[in-house]
C-alpha cells in the first residue's frame, strides 16, 4: 500500500527533525535503535544513528 501525499509530507517532516537532531528519539532498550513518535502528526519512526556528529566528521575529513 502506497503512502498518501499527506502521509508522505508528515513522514518527511519527521525525517527532517531526526536528521537535524538524531537524539530526538528515545533509545530502545538492548538495541542500537531509537524510537521517534509525533502523536500530533501521527508519525512513528524506528531508526538507528550511523554518525553522531556529521559536522565533526566533515571537518576531520576536509581539514
pLDDT tens for residues 6-58? 999 999 999 999 999 999 999 999 999 999 999 998 999 999 988 765 554 44
Give me the residue spans of the domains in the chain.
Answer: 5-62
The model carries a pTM of 0.71
The residue written with cell numbers 502523536 in the block is: 39
- Dump the DSSP string for 25-63: SEEPTTSSEEEEEETTTTEEEEEE-S-S-HHHHHHHHH-
Dihedrals phi, psi of 39, to nearest 5 degrees: -70, -25
Confidence of residue 1 (pLDDT cuts 50, 70, 90): confident
Amino acid at each position: 500500500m502506497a503512502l498518501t501525499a499527506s502521509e508522505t509530507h508528515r513522514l518527511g517532516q519527521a525525517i527532517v527533525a531526526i536528521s537535524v537532531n538524531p537524539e530526538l528519539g528515545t533509545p530502545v532498550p538492548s538495541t542500537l535503535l531509537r524510537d521517534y513518535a509525533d502523536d500530533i502528526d501521527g508519525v512513528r519512526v524506528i531508526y538507528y544513528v550511523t554518525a553522531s556528529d556529521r559536522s565533526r566528521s566533515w571537518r576531520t575529513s576536509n581539514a
